[in-house]
Amino acid sequence: MSVQPVIHWFRRDLRLSDNRALSAALSAGVPVIPLFVFDSRIYKSQRSGAPRLAFLLRALHALDDTLRQHNSRLLIRFGTPPEALRDLVSETNAQAVYCNDDYTPYAQERDRELKATLSVPLHLYDDLLLLAPGQVNKDDGDPFMVFTPFKKRWLSLPKMPFEPDLPPGRFHPLDGIDGKALPTLAELGFAETIAVPDASESQARRLLLGFTSNSIYRYNEGRNRLAADWQHDPVNGSSFLSPYLHLGILSIRHAYGLAQAAQDKAPDKESADAVEAWISELIWRDFYNHILFYFPHVLKHNFRREYNALQWRHAPAELQAWKAGMTGYPVVDAAMRQLNATGWMPNRARMIVASFLCKDLLIDWREGEQYFMQHLIDGDTAANNGGWQWTAGTGTDAQPYFRIFNPISQSMKFDPEGTYLRRWLPELRDIPNDYIHAPWEAPTPPAGYPAPLVEHNFARKRTMEAFGVIT
């Protein structure tokens, strides 16, 4: 090639608009090779799963379609990124590699290896978060370990604006460059089939615009509605943007900018407070990524090391019942069956099932954390780990160990008519509302539905004793 191209390596930035590394690559004034690498160390790991990969594949097909509108396509390679990039640089005589930073321990180690072995510059940009690690520290330079002061400092700092337009530049047509076809789930080693949402950037933007112009003003109430999900009730619940933010299909700066605009236009204080609550979730996203960056031990260990002495129960049959949605507690079982069927569940349901596993069954949070990563379409290493350790009481700024969700009262409060329960538990569809939340109390318990694994008050006392020994 007479003109040396550059490579843009797509990772968790599967979009064209407001993509900082891609914009820099296009501004270099030479053809840009769009690349995605199927990293075998990721998709073959125990933490990988069919739902998240299915959503990724839909996103990659959508990205490829968009690139074809720019007279290019998405170049697909397999293997480890160092090998794939070294080969592509050699084949194309590329002069540099551009990509956006990622803050997981694996990603950081991978990029250090690349910088040390790649024969051309590796240009990394902060794009994934609103404020990257190192930008929200204490006055002495140490990272925050408590959310409230982190949020206060975060809010005081300027953020990069949303930049929707691509800079002048051109993508490489990829003529003569060897690439593979996008694989199927089966070719990646997964026999399952699962329906996942449209994973295109255009769909992500439609969801964002719809949410920030309407239901964001009801977020404080809607986010706890168990019956709301992207298939059955996509208007009155969560934003449903987490899968798109996880893969960078949607720009986090676009999301934040429209949320700020919604807050400015809020018709009353209640609506403004609801917008603030959603913005706080974006800040939690940054916070947990910072925690993972500075304290990578949290992936395998308790953040609060004193809880390493906690005696979790080894109860494989109970763990399997939890995974299968057969605990005898309807709200737990409905949530787990929804997860197994769709790869998603509302955030309130995630807290309920996590509390049940860790506090009612006293089973190690790491079991549930890994199961979520294997089954969620929006499984995010930092947020998932942070959420599980928060619920278990072992994490930074976690809920107190004595805060234990009662699955019956949670069900009654957030699914009072049993809509969610009946949707996912066919065994309970004919149970009257008086018994839907605790069917074992019915004069005739429903056939085919299990009795509770454990009595909640007994489980609460057991957990209080186990944690109390340490504290």
CA distance 240 to 207: 8
Catalytic residue (one of 284, 322, 344, 390): 284
C-alpha–C-alpha distance, residues 360 and 74, integer Å: 47
Give the H/E segment covering residue 461.
helix 456-468
CA distance 425 to 140: 53
Residue 447, judged by CB atoms within 10 A of its CB (0-12, 13-18, 19+), counts as exposed
Which amino acid is present at 282?
L
Residue 345, amino acid: M
Q: Which of 9, 322, 388, 390 is catalytic?
A: 388
CA-CA distance, 461 to 180, in Å (whole number)?
57
Could you give the CA distance from residue 235 to residue 370 in angstroms, rounded to a whole number?
30
Interhelix angle 147-156/269-294, nearest 10 degrees: 110
* Stated length of the chain: 471
Whether 384 sits among the annotated catalytic residues: the reply is: no
Burial class of residue 160 in the structure, from the number of CB atoms within 10 Å of its CB (0-12 exposed, 13-18 middle, 19+ buried): middle
Q: Is 163 a catalytic residue?
A: no
171: phi then psi, degrees, rounded to nearest 5: -90, 150
Q: With residue 33 as reference, give the H or E element that holds it.
A: strand 32-39
H or E element at residue 274: helix 269-294
CB 349 within 8 A of CB 256: no
Active-site position among 278, 365, 390, 424: 365
9 belongs to the catalytic site: no
Question: Is position 284 annotated as part of the catalytic site?
Answer: yes
Catalytic residue, candidates 137, 220, 236, 347: 347
Q: Do residues 127 and 101 touch, judged by C-beta distance below 8 A?
A: yes
- Phi first, then psi: what are they for 270, rounded to 5°? -60, -40
Whether 312 is a known active-site residue: answer yes
Rounded Cα–Cα distance for residues 222 and 117 (Å):
49
163, 236, 312, 427: the catalytic one is 312
> Is residue 281 annotated as part of the catalytic site, yes or no?
yes
Residue showing tokens 């255009």:
202
Distance, CA of 295 to CA of 105 (rounded, Å): 9
In one-letter notation, the amino acid at residue 337 is R
- Largest separation between any pair of C-alpha atoms in the chain: 82
Is residue 99 within 8 A of residue 132, CB to CB? The reply is: no
Handedness of CA 260, 265, 271, 273 (dihedral sign): positive
Catalytic residue among 281, 340, 406, 427: 281
The residues that are catalytic are 281, 284, 312, 347, 365, 388
